[in-house]
Structure 1
Amino acid sequence: MRSIFVILAATTILAGCATNSADMPPPPEAAAVPEAAPPPPAPKPTYGTFGFDTAGADTTAVPGNDFFRYANGTWDKTTEIPADKSRYGMFNVLDDLSKERTRKIIEEQAKDPNSKIGAAYASFMNEAAVEAKGLAPIQPWLDEVRGLKSKAGLAELYAKGDEIGVSSPFRMYVGQDDKDPNQYILGMIQGGIGMPDRDYYLSTDPKQVDTKAKYLQHLTNVLTLAGEANAAARAKAILDLETSIAKAHWTRTESRDANKTYNKMTLAELAKRAPGFDFAALVHGVGANVNDVLVAQPTAFTGEAAAIRKAPLSVLKDQLLVRSIDSYASYLPKAFDDERFSFYGTVLSGVPQQEPRWKRAVNFTVGALGDDVSKLYVAQYFPPETKAAADELVKNIIGAMNRRIDKLEWMTPETRAKAHAKLAAFTPKIGYPSQWRDMTGLTIDANDLLGNAMRANRFEHAYELSKLGGPIQRWEWGMTPMTINAYANPTMVEIVFPAAILQPPFFDPNADPAINYGGIGAVIGHELSHHFDDQGAKYDSTGKLIDWWTPGDTKAFTSRLDKYEAQINAYEPLPGMHVNGKLTMGENVADLAGLTVAHDAYIASLNGAPPPVIDGTTADQRFYLGWAQVWRCKSREQALRQQLLTDPHSPCPVRTDVVRNMDPWYDAFNVQPGQTLYLAPADRVRIW
C-alpha cells in the first residue's frame, strides 16, 4: 500500500545541459564558484517533534490505568474552557481558526458595497439598529399567531412558521427514501418540546427537576418580554402541554433504529393513526404537493395529536409565540437574545457568556450564504496537495477495510461478497463540493437583519421542497468546507470530509505518518465504518435499507454488538450517570472499527520496512497517541450531562479508551493484567 503523505523530493533543474568535454574551449577566466548554500531546514510539524504535543501528556500516569490522562493529562490540568464554550478540545481549536479565517474573508467582502456576504455580516454586526427596531420586524408574525381564531387554522399557521424556520410539533424535512434511495420523500419527525429530550420533562433526578424549573422561568420571562399578561400561569400551561407531548415521544435509542423509524404512509393513513390534527393542511401548507410521507415515530404522532387536540387554543398559541421568539432571539434586541442564551447556553450547557458578536455574525453569514462564502474559503485555505493526500489516504483505508472483510471468521462468503460490493460503491468527498449552489435568488439587506434571516429561511425552505420529484443531487454536501467535522450518509453510500478538518492535529503533512494515521486516518476509518455499524450495516451497496445479511451473519454481528454494549455501559463519566451503550452504539462501533482499520492501513503503508523509533517512541505508540490527541477535550458538567442524555457520541475519555480492545496497544504500552483498562484477549471486542 502506498503512503499518502506528500514527500517533497529534491528537484533537478536542467539549465543549459552543457557538456564539459575536452574539445570545448575553456572559459576566458575562471569564475569563483560560490559556496553551496545549506539546504533549508525540513518543515516542522505543528505539534511537538513528530506531530504529538508531548508537553500536554502526563507520563506519570500508567497507560494501562488511564490512557487519556497519560496522553492528555497535563493539557487537561492546565487548560481552562473558554467562557464562551460548553466544551473545549482539538475540534474547538480548529473551529476558532476556521472562524478567524472566515471572518477575514467576510470583512474583505464587506469593502464591496454590492457584496451580499458583506451585507449579511453588516446587518448582524449593527447591534444599534437591532435595538432601535425592537420587536417591530417580527411583530407582523407575532400578531398573526395571536390573531388565530380557531384550531381549524392551526395546521396552516404551523406551515407558515415552518417556512420561516419556526418548527411545528411535527418537524419536516426532505430526504432520500431509505427503501427507494433514488427518490426524494417528505419525512416527518416528532417535535413539540422546547428542551432537548423527553427525559428533561419526565426524569425525577434532582438536577433534571431543577432544569425543568428553570425552563419554566424561561418561558415566563419570554412571555413577559413579549408584553404578555399573566406570564407565569401561561408558562405553566405551556410546560404542562410539552410534558404531555414528551410522554408520547420515543426515546433517543428507539429513534435511531433505521427499521423502526421507516414508516411510509399516505396522509390519510397518518390522519387515522393520529386523529385530531389536519396533516394534509400542514403538508400542503408548506408547499409539498405529496400524498406519501415517511413518519419516524408513529405512536409519538398519535400522542402529540392527542395533546394538541386536548390543549386550549390559547396555550397552543402561547407555545408558538415563545417558540417564534426563541427561534429569532439572535436577531432581536439584547434582552431577548440574553434570555434565550441564559437558558439554552448557561442552564443547559453551563456556558457563562455568549460568543463575541463577530463570531455569531460569521455563523449567520455562513448559514445564509454558505456556498458563496465556501468558494472563497476553499480558494484561500485548501491547497490541492492536501486534497490529493487525503484522497490517497481514503483509498488506503478502504483497501485495509477490504482486507479485513476477507479475514472475518464470523462472516459467510455470501455476505462477504456483498460487503465488498458496498465498499466498491463508495463515494468519498474531500474538501468541498464538486459544484456550488446558486444563491442569486436570495435578497440580503445590510439594514434588515431579521428580514435577512426570514428570507434566508424561506430560500432554504423552497430549495429543499424543490427536490421533491426531481433527481437525487449527489453532488450536494450537508456541511460547509469550514466545518470541523465529517459524516457518513448511508443512502448516498458516501463519506464526507470538509477542508477545515484536514489540519493538525488531525492531519499534518509534516508529522510522522503514524500520527496522521492515528488522527485523520482513524477519522476516515470512523466514517467509513459508519456504513458497517449497527444501523449503517442495514443499507446495501445502492444505499437501500434492506436485509442483505444471512441470518447467521446477523446473529454473529449482533452478539458482538451486545458484548460491546455491556463494555460501554460500565463507563460512568458523572456520578450516577453511565454512558448509554445502545444510544452510542453506532459511534462506538465506528471508533472501534475505524481505528482498527487505520492501524492496518498504516502497517501496510510501510511496505514491509521496519517502523522507525522517534524520540524514544515506537510507531504503535505514536499511532495510538495520535488517536488520543484528537480526543483531547474537556466539558462543563451541564454539557456533559446533556451529552449523556442526548448525544449518540460518547465523551472524549471513553472514545480514547477504545484502544483497550486492540492487541497492538497492549504491546505498545506494556499493559498488564490488573490494570484498569486491561481486558483479557477473549474479552476484547472485535467486530470488523
Structure 2
Amino acid sequence: MRLAKICYSALAASLMLTACKKEKEEATTEKVPGFDVSSLDSTGKACDDFDTYANGGWKKKNPIPGTESRWGAFGILDKENKEVRLRSIIEEISNKKDRKNRSEEQQIADYYQSFLDTATIEKRGLTPLKPYLDKINEVKSLKDLSSVTGELQKVGVSNVIGFGVEGDLRNSKINALYQGQSGLSLGEKSYYERTDSSTVKVRTEFVKHVDKMFSMATWADPNPGKTILDFETKLAKLQLTNVELRDPVKTYNKMAFKDFEKLTPDFDLKTFSDKQDVKADTVIVQNKAYLQNLNTLLKATPLATLKLYTKWQLLSRFAGYLPKNFDQEDFRFFSTVMRGTKQQRNRTERAIRSTDGLLGMPLGKLFAKKYFPEDDKKKVSEMIENVRTVYGERIDKLTWMSDSTKAKAHKKLKAFTYKIGYPDKWKDYSSIDIAPDKLFENVISASLYQNKEAVEKIGKEVDKKEWGMTPQTVNAYYNPLNNEVVFPAGILQPPFYNRDADDAINYGGIIAVIGHEFTHGFDDQGSQFDDEGNLKNWWTAADRTNFDKLTKKYIDYFSGIEALPGFKINGALTIGENVADLGGLTLAYHALEKSLKGKAEPAPIDGFNWKQRFFLGWAQVWHMNTTNEALQNQVQTDPHSPAKDRINGPLPHLKEFQTAWDCTPGSKMSLPDSSRIVIW
C-alpha cells in the first residue's frame, strides 16, 4: 500500500551511501575523538559562519564520493552500519549450510543471492512483467483500469490514488484506512510548475528517460515521455502542495466507505479497493476535491494514455530489479539528473542495501544482538529523562503561554514514552517466499506480505510496541499517535553518541537529537495532538495565537535563506524540523548547564571551553557536502532544511551561542534580543 502521508517526524532525510572498507574490529573497538580539530577552518570566523568555521576542514577532506549525492555524518555512519556490519552478518549467514526453509537466515541468504544473480536477471529480461503487462493491455474501460491498478498497488506500483493504514488521528488506539494523492514520478508538484532552467531541464530529461525506457522495452507506444509528462502535469495541478499536506486537520476527512466510492463515479473505487483486499466501513480522505477533480481528469483522458501511464509506473517501480540497461537508465535519471550522483554502487553493495530494505527487521535482530551494548540503553534512558525534566522547566518559564495550557503541556510531556535500540518483540516473516534465483518474485512476495499486514490492521487495535524504523537505521523519530520518541541502535554511535567523549560534545550531539524529537511533540503539527496521541486541541485560543505568531516569524526567517541561486528554503515546509532543531539545541544546552551545577568548571579541551564544545558537537553531527542537484531537490521536496542551515539557522536565536563565542552585536551569527525567537 502506498500513501504519501507519513505520521512520523524523523530527524533526518534518508541517505544513500557507499561502501566502507574498514575491518569489523575497527568499527566496534576504535576510539573516536569527541571532536577532531582538523575539521576546523582556522580562516573562518565562528560568528560569521559557524558551519564553515567548525566544518570547513572536514568538508575539504571529505569530498562527495561519486556514488553519493550528499555526504556527511549520517551517511558515513550508515555506511559503516550497512556495508561493514550488515555485510559481515549477511556473508556469515550465506556461508552456512542446511538453512531451514522460510527461516530468516534462509530468506536473507537467498534474497542476497537472487540480487547478485545477474545472469538469471539478464536471461529473464522483462518476462517477469508479462502477466501484469497483459492485464494492462487488456483494459477496455475505466472499470477495467480500476481493477488492474488496484492489483498493481497490491505489489507496490504507484498510481493516482494511494491507501495506507495507521492509527486514527482522532482515535489513536485504533488503526484506520487512509486515502491520499499519489502518482507523480518527479515526487512533488513544484517540479511540474517551476519555470527556472534547472527544473525545466529535469522535465526535459524526464521525457528522454521515459522514451529510452520504452524503447529498450521495445514497446511501440508513440511519444511516451511527452504523453506521460503532460498527464502528470495535469495531475499535479489537482494535488495539494507539500506544505498543505502538513495540516492534519484539513487532510482529515473521515467518511463512510460507500460515500467515498461516490467521489469518483467513473473510476470504480470499490473494485480498486477489493483488489487490494481492503475491507473497511470508513476511510479518512486526504482531499475530497482531489478525488472529484481526478474523476473528471480520468474521464477526459484517452484510455490509451491511462494504459500508457500505468505501464510506465510498472516499469519504473521494478527497474532496479530488471536487466542492467533498465537499472542503469533508472539510476541515470533519478540519481544523476535529479540528485547529481555520478556513479552507481557496485552490485555487492547494492545487494546488501536491497536485502536490508526488504528484510531489515530480521537483519536488525542480528545487528542489535551483535553491536548494541545494553549499557547504552540505560545511559540513553537517563539522557531522555534529563531532557524531559529540562523541558518541564522550560515550559514553566514561558511568558507567552497561560497556566492552563502549561498544565496540559506538562501532562503531554509526562505521557511521553520512548523506545531505545531495538523492538521488544519481533515480527514473523516466515510467510515471505524467497528463492535464490527469482529476484522479481521475491520482491513481489515481500510486497504482498506488506499489503496483507497493512489491511489486516484496519479496525484493529494499534500495536504500541511496533517500530517504524529498523535497529540499524541512522535516524530517530517522534510518532504523535503514540506520543513516543524512538532511537534506533544505529544512531547511538559516534558522532551522535560517543561514550568516550566529554559531556559537552555528547550534549551537543545525542542530547540535542533527543531534544529535537521531544520538540516534535510540540511543533506546528505535534502540538495539535494531545497526551493520548489524538488530534485534539488542548490550547486556549490566545495561546495558540501566540504560538502561531512565533512560528510565523520563524517561517519568515528561514524563507529568507537562499540555499542556491533561485532556490530559497521553504520556511512553511521546514517549520516542523526547524522548530525541533531550535528546541533540541535549547533543551540540550540547558540540560548540560543543569548537569554542571555544583561541580567544578570542566577544563578546556583543545583550547575550547565546554560552552564552545557544545556547539562544536552540534555542528559535527550535521556536517555535510551536497551536490547542487540534491540541494535543489531537497529545497523542493524535503521538510528538512539543508545541513548548513540546520547548523547556522537556529544559532543566532540562542544568546548562549553569542556568549560562548564572544560574538559582537551586528555579527552574522548574532541577533538583537528583540529579534530572537524563543518558542520552547
Task: State TM-score, norm by structure 2.
Answer: 0.93
Aligned partner letter, 1:353? Q
CA displacement, residues 61-84 of structure 1 (integer Å, 9 cap, x when unaligned):
111110101100111223210111
| Equivalent position to 2:254, from 264, 285, 306 | 264
**Alpha-carbon distance in structure 2 between the residues aligned to 1:402 and 1:383:** 30
> Which aligned pairs between 1:126-165 and structure 2 lie closer than 5 A?
126-165=117-156
**Alpha-carbon distance in structure 2 between the residues aligned to 1:366 and 1:106:** 10
Q: Which residue of 1 aligns with 2:24?
A: none
Size of the aligned set, in residue pairs, is 643
Q: Given that residues 156 and 282 in structure 1 are in contact (C-alpha distance below 8 angstroms), is that contact kept between their aligned partners in structure 2?
A: yes
Aligned partner letter, 1:92? G
> Which aligned pairs between 1:298-377 and structure 2 lie closer than 5 A?
298-377=288-367
Find the residue that maps to 2:243 and give its secondary structure: helix
| Equivalent position to 2:212, from 200, 216, 221 | 221
**Alpha-carbon distance in structure 2 between the residues aligned to 1:304 and 1:607:** 61
Q: Which residue of 2 aligns with 1:393?
A: 383
Q: Which residue of 1 aligns with 2:103?
A: none
Post-superposition offset of 1:301:
2.3
Q: Given that residues 588 and 650 in structure 1 are in contact (C-alpha distance below 8 angstroms), is that contact kept between their aligned partners in structure 2?
A: yes
| Equivalent position to 1:102, from 80, 86, 90 | 86
Q: Which residue of 2 aligns with 1:516?
A: 506
Post-superposition offset of 1:291:
2.6
CA displacement, residues 643-672 of structure 1 (integer Å, 9 cap, x when unaligned):
001100000111101111111111110111
Q: Given that residues 266 and 291 in structure 1 are in contact (C-alpha distance below 8 angstroms), is that contact kept between their aligned partners in structure 2?
A: yes
Aligned partner letter, 1:637? N
Aligned partner letter, 2:242? R
Q: Given that residues 206 and 225 in structure 2 are in contact (C-alpha distance below 8 angstroms), is that contact kept between their aligned partners in structure 1?
A: no
**Alpha-carbon distance in structure 2 between the residues aligned to 1:355 and 1:549:** 50
> Which aligned pairs between 1:52-451 and structure 2 lie closer than 5 A?
52-99=35-82, 100-113=84-97, 114=99, 115-231=106-222, 233-451=223-441
| Equivalent position to 2:635, from 639, 644, 650 | 644
**Alpha-carbon distance in structure 1 between the residues aligned to 2:291 and 2:37:** 53
Structure 1 position 676 matched with structure 2 position 668: yes
* Larger Rg over CA atoms: 1
Find the residue that maps to 2:572 and give its secondary structure: coil
Structure 1 position 452 matched with structure 2 position 442: yes
**Alpha-carbon distance in structure 2 between the residues aligned to 1:97 and 1:542:** 37
Q: Given that residues 220 and 235 in structure 1 are in contact (C-alpha distance below 8 angstroms), is that contact kept between their aligned partners in structure 2?
A: yes
Post-superposition offset of 1:44:
11
| Equivalent position to 1:481, from 459, 471, 479 | 471
Q: Which residue of 2 aligns with 1:626?
A: 617
CA displacement, residues 433-453 of structure 1 (integer Å, 9 cap, x when unaligned):
111001111111011111100
Post-superposition offset of 1:133:
1.2
Q: Given that residues 68 and 653 in structure 1 are in contact (C-alpha distance below 8 angstroms), is that contact kept between their aligned partners in structure 2?
A: yes
Q: 1:45 to 1:401 in 2, by over 3 A?
A: farther
Q: Which residue of 1 aligns with 2:17?
A: none
Post-superposition offset of 1:556:
1.1
Aligned partner letter, 2:51? F
Find the residue that maps to 1:91 and give its secondary structure: helix
Post-superposition offset of 1:428:
0.7
Aligned partner letter, 1:122? Q
CA displacement, residues 348-377 of structure 1 (integer Å, 9 cap, x when unaligned):
001111122222212221222222111111
| Equivalent position to 1:667, from 647, 659, 667 | 659
Find the residue that maps to 2:225 and give its secondary structure: helix
**Alpha-carbon distance in structure 1 between the residues aligned to 2:340 and 2:367:** 32
CA displacement, residues 36-74 of structure 1 (integer Å, 9 cap, x when unaligned):
xxxxxxx998444xx012101112211111010110011
Q: Given that residues 255 and 297 in structure 1 are in contact (C-alpha distance below 8 angstroms), is that contact kept between their aligned partners in structure 2?
A: no
> Which aligned pairs between 1:496-575 and structure 2 lie closer than 5 A?
496-575=486-565
Post-superposition offset of 1:276:
2.6
Aligned partner letter, 1:156? S
Post-superposition offset of 1:86:
0.8
**Alpha-carbon distance in structure 1 between the residues aligned to 2:179 and 2:436:** 35
Q: Which residue of 2 aligns with 1:11?
A: none
Q: Which residue of 1 aligns with 2:587?
A: 597
Q: Given that residues 658 and 669 in structure 2 are in contact (C-alpha distance below 8 angstroms), is that contact kept between their aligned partners in structure 1?
A: no
**Alpha-carbon distance in structure 2 between the residues aligned to 1:262 and 1:547:** 14
Aligned partner letter, 1:615? D
Post-superposition offset of 1:110:
0.8
Find the residue that maps to 2:499 and give its secondary structure: coil
**Alpha-carbon distance in structure 2 between the residues aligned to 1:621 and 1:75:** 18
Q: Given that residues 45 and 510 in structure 1 are in contact (C-alpha distance below 8 angstroms), is that contact kept between their aligned partners in structure 2?
A: no
CA displacement, residues 491-527 of structure 1 (integer Å, 9 cap, x when unaligned):
1101111101000000001100110010010011001
Post-superposition offset of 1:635:
0.7
- Mean CA deviation greater in 367-376 or 663-672: 367-376
CA displacement, residues 394-445 of structure 1 (integer Å, 9 cap, x when unaligned):
1111111111111111111111111111111111111101110011111110
**Alpha-carbon distance in structure 1 between the residues aligned to 2:31 and 2:523:** 33
Q: Given that residues 123 and 448 in structure 1 are in contact (C-alpha distance below 8 angstroms), is that contact kept between their aligned partners in structure 2?
A: yes
**Alpha-carbon distance in structure 2 between the residues aligned to 1:171 and 1:516:** 41
Q: Which residue of 1 aligns with 2:19?
A: none
**Alpha-carbon distance in structure 2 between the residues aligned to 1:575 and 1:129:** 47
Task: State TM-score, norm by structure 1.
Answer: 0.92
Q: Which residue of 2 aligns with 1:27?
A: none
Q: 1:309 to 1:403 in 2, by over 3 A?
A: same
**Alpha-carbon distance in structure 2 between the residues aligned to 1:599 and 1:202:** 42
**Alpha-carbon distance in structure 2 between the residues aligned to 1:215 and 1:235:** 7
Q: Given that residues 44 and 510 in structure 1 are in contact (C-alpha distance below 8 angstroms), is that contact kept between their aligned partners in structure 2?
A: no
**Alpha-carbon distance in structure 2 between the residues aligned to 1:610 and 1:294:** 57
Q: Given that residues 419 and 485 in structure 2 are in contact (C-alpha distance below 8 angstroms), is that contact kept between their aligned partners in structure 1?
A: yes
**Alpha-carbon distance in structure 1 between the residues aligned to 2:670 and 2:165:** 46
Post-superposition offset of 1:230:
4.0
Aligned partner letter, 2:72? G
**Alpha-carbon distance in structure 1 between the residues aligned to 2:185 and 2:606:** 53
Q: Given that residues 154 and 275 in structure 2 are in contact (C-alpha distance below 8 angstroms), is that contact kept between their aligned partners in structure 1?
A: no
Find the residue that maps to 1:582 and give its secondary structure: helix
**Alpha-carbon distance in structure 1 between the residues aligned to 2:474 and 2:660:** 30
Find the residue that maps to 1:573 and give its secondary structure: strand
**Alpha-carbon distance in structure 1 between the residues aligned to 2:311 and 2:264:** 24
**Alpha-carbon distance in structure 2 between the residues aligned to 1:230 and 1:275:** 29
**Alpha-carbon distance in structure 2 between the residues aligned to 1:304 and 1:215:** 23
Q: 1:270 to 1:44 in 2, by over 3 A?
A: closer
**Alpha-carbon distance in structure 1 between the residues aligned to 2:350 and 2:251:** 34
**Alpha-carbon distance in structure 2 between the residues aligned to 1:210 and 1:85:** 21
Aligned partner letter, 2:77? L
CA displacement, residues 314-361 of structure 1 (integer Å, 9 cap, x when unaligned):
111111111111111111100111111111011100111112222221
Find the residue that maps to 1:584 and give its secondary structure: helix
Post-superposition offset of 1:170:
0.5
Q: Given that residues 171 and 189 in structure 1 are in contact (C-alpha distance below 8 angstroms), is that contact kept between their aligned partners in structure 2?
A: yes
